[in-house]
Amino acid sequence: MHRCLLFCALFFPLSLKAQASLQQPFKECRINGSTTIYNYKTKKWLLSDSADAQVATLPASTFKVINILIALETGTIKDENEIIKWPGSTDTTLYGYRPEIYHDITVKEAFRVSAGWAFIEMAKKIDRKKYQYYLDACDYGNHNLAEKGADFWNFGVFAISPKNQVEFLIKVYEEKLPFSKRNIAILKNVMVTDTAPDYVIRSKTGWTKTNNEDLGWWVGYVQRKDNVYFFATRLIKPRSEVNANFGNCRKEITRNILRQIKAL
């Protein structure tokens, strides 16, 4: 899976030793995937796998990044503190998977804990033509909304590549999107997941199960005083293959590579 060849060499020259160091975190996690990074200051790409960086798959919950913007811009929600009403039973013992997320919840909390049901409820209120307009205007993914289910980012033919994820995040950072500055500011606030004296990370994870595969993401950017590093890590494994650390590896691999390039 790790083919950092001509494309990578042109955009971020790497020695064979450096290329091997990018591949090592994937080997340690016993997982296939790739990490795509863009150095904003030097305008160069760092790719652990140049071919995989171009392959589009379902975005899973990373779609919540653009989904919040669309929900805000269409007036579906007022702000990040709006409460989304849980439409199901109040008996959480009925839900075997993460029962703690099934209750009335703010948009900000739904993003933080990745309460997919809340974003599905929002999606039901947004006209598909509006989704199509914003996906086209943002050049987000393959623009294919053929999937009729409200949860089209987890199932069906809608897809985005790691490189496209990063390109979209750059537009978020630069505020070069068809959304108001207010709404982009709300998104940036909601996206903060890590803070340290010398950097802030804004990010979103994603995980879906489709075509007998587990598909996991971590996308976002590290903002430092002197630079910004954008990243998109995607892991893929057969569902029949047991790897209890699959979820953690999304961040472990990314952080390892970010440390290698002194972004963390």
Picking from 59, 21, 246, 80, the residue whose alpha carbon sits closest to that of residue 169 is 59
Yes or no: say if 154 and 210 are a contact pair by the CB < 8 Å rule. yes
Assess contact for 219 and 69: CB atoms under 8 A. Answer: no
101-130 in b/e burial notation, b at 16+ Cβ within 10 A?
bbeebbbbbbbeebbbbbbbbbbeebeeee
* Amino acid symbol at 255: R
Please check whether residue 51 is in contact with residue 3, taking contact to mean a CB–CB distance below 8 angstroms: yes
Taking a C-beta distance cutoff of 8 angstroms, is the pair 57, 160 a contact?
yes
Residue of 34, 61, 114, 161 marked catalytic: 61
SS3 assignment, position 208: strand
Q: Which two tokens stand for residue 156?
A: 């069906």
Q: Is 89 a catalytic residue?
A: no
Q: Cβ(211)–Cβ(181) under 8 Å?
A: no
Between the CA of residue 136 and those of 173, 245, 258, what are the distances in Å?
A: 19, 36, 31
Active site residues: 61
